[in-house]
Amino acid sequence: MVFHMKTTLNIEESVMRRLREEAARRGTTMSTLVEAGLRRVLAEPEASGRREDPLPTLPTLPVRRSGGLRVDIASREELYRLMDGD
């Protein structure tokens, strides 16, 4: 059984434009091209045993006191109720 997952990615505008054009040229979807590219990148370290360009170190995120939970974010119904102002 194959599972698919939706996700959100931040992609630079020029790269996104090229992705759309390439998908149209090949007659496929952008998702298919992104997945193929990810598979290639993820296979590289295994095949070559090295990384040419190390991933950047991300800064530590700030910790804020939010005042507590207002909604269980795992519950779609509760999220809709909060957004609707009920």
- pTM of the shown model: 0.49
Could you give the domains of the chain? Answer: 8-52 (1.10.1220)
Tokens of 10: 């931040």
Mean of the per-residue pLDDT values of the chain:
83
pLDDT digit of tens for each residue in the chain (86 aa)? 777 888 898 999 999 999 999 999 999 999 999 999 999 988 876 655 555 667 778 888 888 777 777 777 788 888 888 888 76
CA angle in degrees (0–180, nearest 5) for 39-44-48: 160
Assess contact for 22 and 33: CB atoms under 8 A: yes
d(CA 73, CA 20): 32
